[in-house]
Structure 1
Amino acid sequence: MVAALELYFDHVTQQRIRTLWTALEEVGVQTMKRLLDGRHRPHLSLTGAERLDGPAIAAALDGLAAAPPLEVNLDFCGQFVGRVLWLGPVPTPELLAHHAAVHQRLDAAGISGFDVYRPGAWVPHVTMSMRVPRPLLPQAIRLCLEFLPMKATITGAAVADHAHDEYLPLS
């Protein structure tokens, strides 16, 4: 498990994603629902690394809203290599600008993360499952599409490192 700077959604969107997790579980797809004894929250990660220093990130972002009230539209689903299934927000100019501003602040503070989260490489996503069994992939994708589109608002942020039981709310 890695640490991440996570953006959280409004209550309605969180509940819809949790309902989707339940629907996927009911057809045999392991989801994020059971991860961390149910403490895992639906989120969009701005950066990730093996370890992140929450207080250093908070200091780097001082004066910049970690979680501006961005409207995001979850309009599609996708898959990463390894059968990772996710919902994708439309990469609006506002979302991409916020992501870039966060990375500019982190870079200036000497805080680095995985290259796949860098501006220009980042694929914004909300993970549904880390390992969809191959025979269930078409059904899992259909289920995700039944829940889309979703309009969401970013309402919170935190640096989460559950492997080390560290969690620092930023808003």
Structure 2
Amino acid sequence: MGYAVELYIDAQMEAAVRGLWQTLADRGVTSLMPELGARPHISLTVFDALYPPDVHDELQNFATEVAPIPLQFSAVGIFPTAEGVVFLAPVVTPRLLDVHAAFHARMAALGLPSLSYYRPGNWVPHCTVAINLPADQIPAAVAICKAAPVFRAFSLVGLDLIEFRPVKTIYEFPLVG
């Protein structure tokens, strides 16, 4: 089991991304996101191991200090890995990077190192729309994403800690700062 801290998306964009997941399924492209129990999000970090009570107060405090983050999806991307990931990429704003760096500083102070590709300087903020896609389905997934009504403004409105595969929400906090 792994753990992730995610920034989740406002209700309107969540519905649009879930609609995209459904469109992928309707066209025979396997998303896996609904089957995993995921919700549309942008991950701040992933941990291999964690004792959740150790982070409850820190996550709650962080969420009370951070206001919702306005963003806009601007691109469809893939990672050059065997995992077959297709994602939506937001415009990377200074505020998003600042929130990410502040979060990682707090986790480091607790002695909780995240996986290297989520650390500041390495992080590629993204909202996964499909995972574990066979290589021959990636072009279709990208084409479907390009046509989806998701390239517009939205906000990141909350923070959660999940255990994954399957996804189980452990803590959830609104961003209220």
**TM-score under structure 1 normalisation?**
0.89
- The Cα of 1:89 is off from its aligned counterpart by 1.0
Matched with 2:117 is 116
Matched with 2:161 is 159
Matched with 1:107 is 108
Fraction of identical pairs, as percent: 33
Q: What amino acid is aligned across from residue 106 of structure 1 in structure 2?
A: M
Q: Which moved more, 1:159-168 or 1:127-136?
A: 159-168
Contact kept? 1:57, 1:111, Cα under 8 Å: no
Separation in 1, partners of 2:15, 2:49? 29
Separation in 2, partners of 1:61, 1:166? 13
Q: What amino acid is aligned across from residue 3 of structure 2 in structure 1?
A: A
Matches within 5 A, 1:60-75: 60-61=58-59, 63-65=61-63, 68-75=67-74
Matched with 1:4 is 4
Gap runs ≥5 in structure 1: none
Matched with 1:48 is 46
Separation in 2, partners of 1:162, 1:93? 29
Flag the 1:162–1:133 CA change in 2: closer, same or farther, 3 A.
closer
- The Cα of 1:139 is off from its aligned counterpart by 1.7
Separation in 1, partners of 2:44, 2:74? 19
CA RMSD for the aligned pairs?
2.0
- The Cα of 1:85 is off from its aligned counterpart by 0.6
Matched with 1:95 is 96
Matched with 2:171 is 168
Separation in 2, partners of 1:51, 1:27? 36
Flag the 1:120–1:75 CA change in 2: closer, same or farther, 3 A.
same
CA deviation vs aligned residue, 1:117-145 (integer Å, no higher than 9, x gap)? 00000000111111222222222101111
Flag the 1:61–1:136 CA change in 2: closer, same or farther, 3 A.
closer
Gap runs ≥5 in structure 2: none
Q: Which moved more, 1:7-16 or 1:64-73?
A: 64-73
- The Cα of 1:55 is off from its aligned counterpart by 2.9
